[in-house]
């Protein structure tokens, strides 16, 4: 059955791959991200293959823009079946460096962006007593390491928020899934502001990272599961990744 699927962070990486995969399944896609040229190109790619897609420029740190993305889904397709909270950044640095702008950006995008997405879609889902939130966390939400304190904290927060949400909405028939990827070939490394750290991470990703399509297919499987069952959390790593 065709579903209306809203995706934040949809202009590249996991978001783009998931949008294109799900559109091929006949789902109606609502794209949100900050880069309008990329959004327009992805929407056109989907339409050129017979799919359905619309988009809004969306900065997930702006609650009014996230609400507008939900409104677009309702006005265009009449409902929201799935909301994928995918937007995120991954600056890495030692706490002693006091990269406060990085800290603030991660908290605003990774945590507040997830909350704003939930807040935008939940009233519609609760009214219909149906829906599915898919929140992107990370293996860093399970294992902290030197240089990743704030990033790990934000991804642990996604886990906590998602579990509390699951308990709040279980009796309403709303599903909640957390996807925690390991090293995946996305643009996340571009958000690492420390050049030394980024260089080391690039070498690791070059050796181990898996294509974004692996995560997209996992998201598809979570959506395709019968409505009476939920994958509440999936950790997906490259087979050779230790942590």
- What whole-number distance in Å separates Cα of residue 82 and Cα of residue 121? 9
Six-digit token pair at 124? 């519609």
For the chain, which domains are there?
A: 4-236 (3.40.50.720)
- What whole-number distance in Å separates Cα of residue 158 and Cα of residue 189? 20
Q: List pLDDT tens digits, range 169-188.
A: 999 999 999 999 999 988 77
Nearest to 7 by CA among 67, 82, 88: 82
Active site residues: 151
Q: List pLDDT tens digits, range 69-108.
A: 999 999 999 999 999 999 999 898 999 999 999 999 999 9
Task: Tell me the pTM.
Answer: 0.95
Nearest to 180 by CA among 140, 126, 131: 140
Q: List pLDDT tens digits, range 121-165.
A: 999 999 999 999 999 999 999 999 888 999 999 999 999 999 999
Q: How confident is the model at residue 67 (pLDDT cuts 50, 70, 90)?
A: very high
Is pLDDT above 90 for 203?
no
Q: List pLDDT tens digits, range 16-62.
A: 999 999 999 999 999 999 999 999 999 999 999 999 999 999 999 99
Is pLDDT above 80 for 195?
no
Secondary structure E strands in the chain: 4-8, 28-33, 52-57, 82-85, 131-136, 174-181, 233-236
Six-digit token pair at 96? 């002693």
């Amino acid at each position: 059955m065709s579903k209306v699927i809203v995706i934040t962070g949809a202009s590249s990486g996991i978001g783009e791959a998931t949008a294109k995969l799900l559109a091929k399944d006949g789902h109606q896609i609502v794209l949100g991200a900050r880069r309008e040229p990329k959004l327009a190109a992805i929407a056109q790619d989907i339409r050129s293959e017979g799919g359905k897609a619309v988009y809004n420029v969306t900065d997930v740190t702006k609650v009014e823009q996230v609400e507008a993305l939900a409104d677009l889904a309702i006005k265009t397709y009449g409902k929201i079946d799935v909301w994928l909270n995918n937007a995120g950044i991954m600056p890495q640095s030692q706490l002693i460096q006091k990269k406060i702008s990085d800290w603030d950006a991660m908290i605003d995008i990774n945590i507040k962006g997830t909350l704003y997405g939930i807040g935008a879609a939940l009233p519609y889902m609760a009214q219909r007593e149906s829906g599915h939130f898919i929140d992107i966390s990370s293996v860093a939400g399970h294992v902290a390491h030197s240089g990743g304190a704030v990033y790990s904290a934000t991804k642990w927060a996604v886990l906590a928020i998602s579990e509390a949400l699951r308990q709040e909405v279980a009796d309403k028939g709303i599903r909640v899934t957390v996807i925690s990827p390991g090293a995946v070939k996305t643009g996340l490394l571009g958000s690492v502001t420390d050049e030394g750290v980024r260089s080391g991470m690039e070498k690791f990703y070059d050796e181990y990272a898996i294509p974004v399509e692996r995560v997209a297919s996992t998201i598809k499987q979570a959506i395709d599961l019968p409505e009476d069952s939920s994958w509440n959390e999936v950790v997906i790593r490259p087979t050779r990744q230790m942590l």
